[in-house]
Amino acid sequence: MTNENTTHFGFKQVAKEEKVQMVRSVFDSVAGKYDIMNDLMSFGIHRIWKRIAVQLSNVRSGESVLDLAGGTGDLTMLFEKRVGKKGQVVLADINAEMLRNGRDRLIDHGIIGNIRFAQVNAECLPFEDNSFDCVCIGFGLRNVTDKDAALRSMYRVLKPGGRVIVLEFSHPTDKLTEKVYDFYSFNLMPKIGKFVAKDEESYRYLAESIRMHPKQDELKKMMENAGLERCEYFNLSQGIVAVHRGYKI
């Protein structure tokens, strides 16, 4: 049973002020193995999901992009190719360890000139109004304590004509996919986490957090309530993942 002072951390109920630290601990733990775990858990398909999200963003040369929950920089690298030397991408994450890993990885790839880094909380972004042509949050919104506040904050920093892209694990659109996905998530994923990242509990939390995330139509409504217009979503892999898109008119 939830109240205004509690929220969910996976399937558990915790005090709201505790969740940020608990999520931070999860990503502190998995940061070093984050990329290899993504490849293993999704069989590499996460790279296709990210490319589709970037395509749907319609980001063009010279634009400015905020990559929230940007982690180790996968989406930032894809956006950087689109904005070119005249554009800019801000790789932002609430977790310092993830941000450090992302910065090191981008430097290793020789991508640094038009990239900025910011440790931020998505609920209260420290940027001026109307700053970005696109705000993207990839596989991060489900970890945010107050999703409505985060969406309002994203709307505020978006330029008129700009778009918000939410790439997130979602809810399967058919019963067979749901059954297979549940078995994989709760039985195999934590075991892979234990074997590769030496952390079974963090990956059990990640599986639970996906189930607690709003369904596609609910998230679309939340985006509309935040002020975004022409909101729509695109199911990928039978709804295991969805890309939501909304515009600031």
Average per-residue pLDDT for the chain: 90
Sheet bearing 132-138, strands edge to edge = 115-119, 88-93, 64-68, 132-138, 158-169, 241-247, 229-236
Can you say which residues are annotated as belonging to the binding site? Answer: 72, 93, 121-122
- Check: CB of residue 159 under 8 Å from CB of residue 248: yes
Q: Pick the residue with more confidence: 143 or 226?
A: 226
With a cut of 70, say whether residue 3 has pLDDT above it. Answer: no
Q: Give the number of C-alpha atoms closer than 13 A to the C-alpha of residue 117, restricted to the C-beta side.
A: 20
pTM: 0.89
- Check: CB of residue 75 under 8 Å from CB of residue 138: yes
Can you say which residues are annotated as belonging to the binding site for S-adenosyl-L-methionine? Answer: 72, 93, 121-122
With a cut of 90, say whether residue 47 has pLDDT above it. Answer: yes
- Mean pLDDT along residues 72-95: 96
**CATH pick for 43-172+212-247 out of 3.40.50.150, 1.10.10.10, 3.60.20.10, 1.20.120.530:** 3.40.50.150
Residues in the chain: 249
- Mean pLDDT along residues 82-109: 94
The letter for the amino acid at 115 is I
The letter for the amino acid at 236 is L
